[in-house]
Structure 1
Amino acid sequence: MSKPKRKEHRANRAVLRNVRISPFKARVVADLIRNKPVYEALSILEFTPKKASPILAKLINSALSNVETSQELDWDIDGLVVAEAYVNEGPTMRRFMPRAQGRATRINKRTSHITVVLKPE
């Protein structure tokens, strides 16, 4: 017997796919904001000198506007928390760099799928 599925609102999330940043580097910043209130998370991202910081800040703002414009959610914007912030690996672009003696080495240009989910406290 399977568990009954919970109806999850899709309006409280924002997903950004195929971002040209390594998932390892983006996870460092995502770990900083997980389980923090939204405005505290935005202020943390504002002063974090990493490439992923403005990307995640833009994604949180997108999730906030999704909650604001949603017809089915009437949550208080000030009481929202970043419940989930996770980074998955996207497709890897493989490039080749010429090396000495006619050889070539492979360079992996990694991409990420970043997801942010907001929930009330």
Structure 2
Amino acid sequence: MENKNKSRVGTQALARNIRVSVTKMRRIIDRIRNCSYEEALVSPEFMPYRACYLVSQLVLSAAANASSNFGWNKSDLFIDEAWVDNSTYLRRFRPRAQGRGYPIKRPTCKVTIRLSSKFVEK
């Protein structure tokens, strides 16, 4: 059986416990997947979602990792993989009638973005 976590050529940035639901984050990530670095920075600026700023910061972080660790030029980068996973829930309790407590589940997510260079063989 092949190991899926094999080291691949590329750099990644990971953000954990982001206070946004998975479905709201996936609608942004799906649009920037397989785009160039410049396009992945520009396209979230024109989307009307709160999570776009977080995705832009994560793309900037992944590009900084690529340039500092591998010495790659930022204009040669593209988003090889991007995915969103469920994380833990922030649990809060709202007081209700007769001394009861009503649970409030606030979803969080993990976002991973992997960048690769156009000129590097996999």
| TM score, norm. by length of structure 2 | 0.83
Report the alpha carbon displacement of residue 117 of structure 1 after superposing the two structures with TM.
0.5
The aligned residue for residue 88 of structure 2 is 91
4+ residue runs of structure 1 moved beyond 6 angstroms? none
The aligned residue for residue 80 of structure 1 is 77
Q: 2:114 aligns with which of 109, 114, 117?
A: 117
**Residue identity matched to 2:66:** V
Give distance in 2, aligned partners of 1:18 and 1:120. Answer: 28
Aligned CA-pair RMSD: 2.1
The aligned residue for residue 14 of structure 1 is 13
Any unmatched runs of 5+ in structure 2? Answer: none
Q: Does the 8 Å CA contact 2:94/2:102 hold for their aligned counterparts?
A: yes
Any unmatched runs of 5+ in structure 1? Answer: none
1:39 aligns with 2:33: no
Give distance in 2, aligned partners of 1:6 and 1:96. Answer: 42
Give 1:54-73 correspondences, 5 Å limit: 54-70=53-69, 73=70
Q: 2:105 aligns with which of 105, 108, 112?
A: 108
Q: Does the 8 Å CA contact 2:15/2:112 hold for their aligned counterparts?
A: yes
Report the alpha carbon displacement of residue 101 of structure 1 after superposing the two structures with TM.
5.8
1:65-86 per-position Cα deviation (integer Å, ceiling 9, x unaligned): 001101xx24332121111111
Report the alpha carbon displacement of residue 98 of structure 1 after superposing the two structures with TM.
3.0
Identity of aligned residues (%): 34
**Residue identity matched to 2:61:** S
Report the alpha carbon displacement of residue 56 of structure 1 after superposing the two structures with TM.
0.5
Report the alpha carbon displacement of residue 23 of structure 1 after superposing the two structures with TM.
1.2
Give distance in 2, aligned partners of 1:24 and 1:110. Answer: 10
Report the alpha carbon displacement of residue 22 of structure 1 after superposing the two structures with TM.
1.1
Higher strand share: 2
User: SS state of the match for residue 110, structure 1?
Assistant: strand
